[in-house]
Structure 1
Amino acid sequence: MMEKKVLFCATKDYHFEAFHLPYFKWFKEQGYKVHTAAHGDLNLPFVDKKHVIPIQRSPFKKENIMAYKELKYIIDNNNFQIIHCHTPMGGVLGRLAGRKARERDTKMLYTAHGFHFFKGAPILNWLVYYPIEKFLARMTDCLITINNEDFQIAIQRNFRAQEITHILGVGVDTNQYHPVSTNKKTELRLEKGYCEEDFLMFYAAEFNKNKNQQLLLRAFSLIKEEVSNARLLLAGDGALLDECKMLADSLGIRNRVDFLGFRKDIDELLKISDLAVASSLREGLPVNIMEAMACGLPIIANENRGHRELVFNGQNGWLIGRNDEKSFSEKVIKIAGNMGMRKMLGESSYKMVERKYSTKKILEAKSQLYKSYMEDTEERVWGIH
């Protein structure tokens, strides 16, 4: 019998480390050799063969031509039963490089982690990204969308993938992300230099234009007197980090905003927090929000299609009209001053994750999808059944 192999393709290998290790493990358990293709030198568990190729996030980088050639060689010289592409450039190069493989019955799956074109997106996004995604859908056996708006766009605009489905993201590991007792929360706070009385607001994201941390800083400046024990914790690095530090200085809040840099203890930072906040302008289905919900936190978030999937007004938090810093600050004050409301909203967040977004739930859905393509491939290639 032919060796069974699956290839996961993305722009950077940290995407795999962050989101896909449970699925690598699952494929190993099904007897598959797991290959990855991406830029980066991380040592990934459950991977039999790691192909390092120079994929760049920007479609205009010349390195992507070399990456395409290398990826095509890898695909043409391995008999992959399934190729699963992630991230925009991973999806573009993977599907273009895998055209011949599909003629040999390799199944091409692509997860759209949030189309760049959406209701309210800049017209340039529609002019550039929409025709690319619609064209490449023809080279896709299964297009997986992670939010309802993207699913509806793909269906209504007649994307010609063989199958279009909606799976609720990549899941949250509820063994790692979960609520903790009051005593444990206090203990963790003291370890990290915070007091039991502090009201901690948390956001983890790269400092870039889309993540829009300036909104949080301006909203925080409006509550600094009324919620005198509040602190804003911002984890992440990025091009706009220094600009945000200067804004915090100019708003007079620098001594109450902690710029934490890149962190590997996000789960602990969430467990010590009282409120998760999110300011991004565009999201697919944000894992950072799901992780906060799994830790039993209420959410206040800038309205966008990804946040709309997760945050429901008065149930587990509030969505705020785009960049409305006054409304944002008013909701923070409301939650900071009402422990009962905070607890009720946080419990609702946790239950929602348990019901719909845990890794266990998503793995169940994805494994059924993968199995349908495994069986189809095995039947035709090996004459099984």
Structure 2
Amino acid sequence: MKVLHIINSLGTGGAEKLLLDTIPIYRKRGIEMDVLLLWNNDHQFTKQLVEMNICKIFIINNSSNVRDIYNPINIFKISKIMRQYPIVHVHLFPAQYFAVIANRLNNSSSKLIFTEHNTSNTRISNKFLKPIDKFFYRDYKKLVCISEEIRQIYGKYLKTNDTELIVISNGIDVEKYNKANALKRSYIHFELQMDDKLIIQVSAFRPQKDQDTLIKCMVLLPGNYKLLLVGDGERKMILMKLVNELGLEKRVFFLGQRMDVPQLLKSADVVVLSSYYEGLSLASVEGMASGKPFIASDVPGLQDIVKEAGILFTRGNEEELAVIIKRLIEDPAYAELTAKKGYNRAMKYDISTLINKHIDMYAQLI
């Protein structure tokens, strides 16, 4: 069985991390699974996949300009590579559109699958783009929704029988995160002290995420509470400016892309995901799997995962977030109970379930 995954890049993000984690397992299961990237720009996830040497990695653009992802010339390059694969599994926009056009150039020789990772996109609410968006969705034989909420949203949106909507929740290697060893404070950052209380968020710096609220809440917390922000992205300079404006340069640390996320989570006292919306956030599952108390915004894509396991706070409310963080750190029994509930919830999203369902889906299409 040959399957090609197409994605914009292997930069920081849940969809990207999912591919990095699952491809080695697919390969062990006998699936010839390869990856096509519209853009590389020397990302850490790409480097790690190259080092594994377990699959073909096609890179359309090696430039440092992210806008090259949107170059229509990519379609012809994608078309040539797609011909080799009976099944093509696509993630994110614009790969979503390019794969459809490329497949049509090949007389629709490949069966297309698209995974919808979020509860919304900018085209759903645009009356001019909506008809175009629906046209491209219809070329996909299956639309994999990573939550029931997403399936309901896109079922109403698409109103078509051409594409089968199925729910396959994302997953992680739960034990990898739970059994990770904590790092020394000095290894994480040379300015951290032993008595510092560490709060961490692992997420890309994209408009979808709301690191701003988490940064603002630090003003309301004691001076030995320190924030670790793991990731990279287009809003990094905006967030760094906010940190400087609030005088938090010695309390908020930008760690960049890291390959030791399980160890970093294990080193923290509290894990947070402040966001405007999610699909099924792997970062939230990873946070709960780490055995640390987890806090998240009360928004679509996080509510169902975190409710009655972690703690939800009103989106954008830094005062409420600060109160929750302080209580968790000052009340060890409350923190331990929250962490235990989170770990039990994370067990429902073990990666083996996702792998089995994907393989069954590929077999059905063949």
Shift of 1:141: 0.8
2:148 alignment partner in structure 1: 148
Q: What secondary structure, in the 3-state scheme, does the structure 2 residue paired with 1:9 have?
A: strand
CA RMSD of aligned residues (A): 3.0
The reply on whether 1:349 has 2:342 as its aligned counterpart is: yes
Shift of 1:351: 1.2
1:382 alignment partner in structure 2: none
Q: What secondary structure, in the 3-state scheme, does the structure 2 residue paired with 1:258 have?
A: strand
* Higher alpha-carbon deviation: 28-37 or 145-154: 28-37
- CA 1:87–1:352: 2 relative to 1, 3 Å: same
2:34 alignment partner in structure 1: 35
Shift of 1:51: 2.3
Cα deviations by residue, 1:90-149 (Å, 9 ceiling, x for unpaired): 221112212365754x321110111534xxxx7885446643442222211110011232
- CA 1:102–1:305: 2 relative to 1, 3 Å: farther
1:380 alignment partner in structure 2: none
Q: Is the 8 A contact 2:310 2:341 kept in 1?
A: no
Q: List alignment gaps of at least 5 residues for structure 2.
A: none
Shift of 1:174: 2.4
Q: What secondary structure, in the 3-state scheme, does the structure 2 residue paired with 1:301 have?
A: strand
Q: Is the 8 A contact 2:69 2:94 kept in 1?
A: no
- Percent of residue pairs identical: 24
Q: 1:233 aligns with which of 228, 236, 239?
A: 228
Shift of 1:248: 2.5
Q: Is the 8 A contact 1:296 1:350 kept in 2?
A: yes
Q: Distance in 2 between matches of 1:101 and 1:336?
A: 58
The reply on whether 1:71 has 2:56 as its aligned counterpart is: no
Q: What secondary structure, in the 3-state scheme, does the structure 2 residue paired with 1:252 have?
A: coil
Q: Distance in 2 between matches of 1:141 and 1:261?
A: 37
Q: What secondary structure, in the 3-state scheme, does the structure 2 residue paired with 1:177 have?
A: helix
Q: Is the 8 A contact 1:300 1:320 kept in 2?
A: yes
Q: Distance in 1 between matches of 2:302 and 2:291?
A: 17
1:383 alignment partner in structure 2: none
1:163 alignment partner in structure 2: 164
- CA 1:208–1:85: 2 relative to 1, 3 Å: closer
The reply on whether 1:211 has 2:209 as its aligned counterpart is: yes
Q: List alignment gaps of at least 5 residues for structure 1.
A: 378-385
- CA 1:155–1:253: 2 relative to 1, 3 Å: same
Q: What secondary structure, in the 3-state scheme, does the structure 1 residue paired with 2:73 have?
A: helix
Residues matched between the structures, number: 352
1:367 alignment partner in structure 2: 359
Matched AA of 1:83:
V
Q: Distance in 1 between matches of 2:69 and 2:250?
A: 44
Q: What secondary structure, in the 3-state scheme, does the structure 2 residue paired with 1:270 have?
A: helix
Cα deviations by residue, 1:295-347 (Å, 9 ceiling, x for unpaired): 012222222212113211xx332222221112111212221221111111111
2:92 alignment partner in structure 1: 87
2:9 alignment partner in structure 1: 12
The reply on whether 1:222 has 2:220 as its aligned counterpart is: yes
- CA 1:163–1:326: 2 relative to 1, 3 Å: same
Question: Could you state the TM-score of these two structures normalised by the residue count of structure 2?
Answer: 0.84
- CA 1:7–1:240: 2 relative to 1, 3 Å: closer
2:263 alignment partner in structure 1: 268
Matched AA of 1:297:
K
Q: Distance in 1 between matches of 2:2 and 2:127?
A: 36
The reply on whether 1:325 has 2:321 as its aligned counterpart is: no
Q: What secondary structure, in the 3-state scheme, does the structure 2 residue paired with 1:323 have?
A: coil
Tell which structure's C-alpha radius of gyration is larger.
1
Q: Distance in 1 between matches of 2:236 and 2:322?
A: 22
1:139 alignment partner in structure 2: 139
Matched AA of 1:50:
I
Q: Distance in 2 between matches of 1:358 and 1:243?
A: 35
Q: Is the 8 A contact 1:114 1:284 kept in 2?
A: yes
Q: What secondary structure, in the 3-state scheme, does the structure 2 residue paired with 1:283 have?
A: coil
Q: Distance in 1 between matches of 2:305 and 2:115?
A: 19
Cα deviations by residue, 1:141-166 (Å, 9 ceiling, x for unpaired): 11001123221022223144431101
Q: Distance in 2 between matches of 1:64 and 1:254?
A: 38
- CA 1:18–1:129: 2 relative to 1, 3 Å: farther
Q: Is the 8 A contact 1:173 1:358 kept in 2?
A: yes
Q: Distance in 2 between matches of 1:68 and 1:49?
A: 19
Written as runs of structure 1 = structure 2, the 5 A alignment for 1:267-346 is 267-312=262-307, 315-346=308-339
- CA 1:62–1:123: 2 relative to 1, 3 Å: closer
